[in-house]
């Protein structure tokens, strides 16, 4: 091997090493499996190909959430994923019994909580509970923000603030939550509930809806003014932390890319 060829290969390996070493985390997000075991199984099989370090389910793990058999089915079909990495749940409206929900996730003491991973703070809210100002959960959220002023934050909640989907968003939350999130270093908000994929942008804050893991697909009823892309298909999201950026990619079950956006962790 001549010196020029050796130099080129060495340089290639060096840059490959830099690229790989800059990827700190792979995070999977999906929601609304709702007891549709066939689709849920396909979503899990697709997600594990990305080898995530951590997974979040955006709620409606079950169809009714009233008996243990529903959770047994959920864990059976998600086992290939939970064998690979931790799975953290968001409580959805179909997961009706909070007591049964917490029983099946004994590492949780309540249905809203935080997870720290790779210098990111994931804030899991329970949108089936009161989120209005001065409520118990809202006060907890403010305390969480105040205790972690410098960390980039990601919000996960079942019901969306903004949506073009069947259920629409929440006009009351829209009056104060986006501004509150934006002023406290929240970089993205992920929700389920509507059975589709959607990416919305409020000022510089990204909102994603990914309720595409089993619930019956529904079309858009009317386009929200903040909507960037809407897709009525089963889907899941992969976040890739790369240096100072978070690459958010939404995939269909067939593996095609629905949407991809780069989110900067620091403005």
Q: Which domains does the chain carry?
A: 24-264 (3.60.21.10)
The pTM assigned to this predicted structure is 0.91
Measured on CA atoms in the order 212, 157, 85, 18, is the torsion positive or negative?
positive
Q: What DSSP line would sit under 174-194, residue for residue? A: HTTHHHHHHTTTEEEEEE-SS
Going residue by residue through the chain, which has 267 residues, state the pLDDT in tens, using 9 for 90 and above: 555 554 555 455 444 444 444 557 999 999 999 999 999 999 999 999 999 999 999 999 999 999 999 999 999 999 999 999 999 999 999 999 999 999 999 999 999 999 999 999 999 999 999 999 999 999 999 999 999 999 999 999 999 999 999 999 999 999 999 999 999 999 999 999 999 999 999 999 999 999 999 999 999 988 999 999 999 999 999 999 988 999 999 999 999 999 999 999 975
Q: Which residues are CB-contacts of 254 (< 8 A; sequence separation ≥ 6)?
A: none
Strands in 79-234 per DSSP E: 87-89, 113-117, 120-124, 153-156, 186-191, 197-202, 205-210, 227-231
Cα separation, 145 vs 176, whole angstroms? 15
Neighbouring CB atoms inside 10 A of 15's CB total 10
pLDDT for res 21: 45
Q: How far apart are CA 193 and CA 254, in angstroms?
A: 22
Neighbours of 249 (CB within 10 A): 16
Q: How far apart are CA 10 and CA 229, in angstroms?
A: 42
Phi/psi of residue 264, nearest 5 degrees: -80, 135
Measured between alpha carbons, how far is residue 37 from residues 56, 75, 82, 213 in Å? 18, 11, 16, 9
Give residue 148's pLDDT: 95
Nearest-angstrom CA–CA distance, 107 and 97: 17
Looking at residue 62, what is its pLDDT? Answer: 97
Residue 119 pairs in a beta bridge with none
The tokens for 254 are 């067939």
Q: Indicate the DSSP class of residue 216.
A: P
């Amino acid at each position: 091997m001549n010196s020029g060829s050796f130099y080129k290969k060495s340089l290639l390996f060096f840059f490959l090493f830099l690229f790989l070493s800059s990827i700190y985390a792979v995070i999977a997000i999906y929601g609304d499996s709702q007891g549709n075991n066939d689709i849920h199984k396909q979503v899990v099989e697709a997600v594990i190909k990305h080898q995530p370090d951590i997974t979040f389910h955006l709620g409606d793990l079950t169809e009714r959430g009233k008996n243990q058999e529903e959770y047994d089915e959920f864990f059976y079909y998600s086992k290939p994923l939970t064998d690979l990495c931790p799975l953290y749940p968001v409580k959805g409206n179909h997961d009706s019994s909070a007591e049964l929900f917490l029983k099946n996730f004994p590492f949780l003491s309540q249905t809203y909580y935080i997870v720290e991973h790779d210098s990111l703070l994931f804030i899991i809210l329970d949108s089936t509970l009161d989120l209005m100002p001065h409520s118990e959960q809202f006060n907890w959220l403010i305390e969480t923000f105040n205790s972690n002023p410098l960390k980039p934050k990601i919000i996960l909640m079942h019901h969306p603030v903004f949506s073009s989907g069947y259920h629409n968003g929440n006009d009351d939350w829209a009056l104060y939550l986006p501004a509150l999130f934006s002023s406290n270093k929240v970089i993205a908000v992920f929700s389920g509930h509507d059975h589709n994929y959607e990416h919305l942008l409020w000022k510089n804050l990204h909102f994603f809806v990914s309720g595409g893991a089993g619930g019956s697909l529904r079309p858009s009823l009317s386009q929200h003014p903040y909507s960037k892309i809407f897709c009525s298909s089963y889907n899941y999201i992969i976040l890739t932390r790369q240096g100072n950026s978070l690459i958010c990619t939404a995939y269909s079950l067939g593996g095609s890319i629905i949407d991809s956006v780069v989110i900067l962790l620091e403005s």
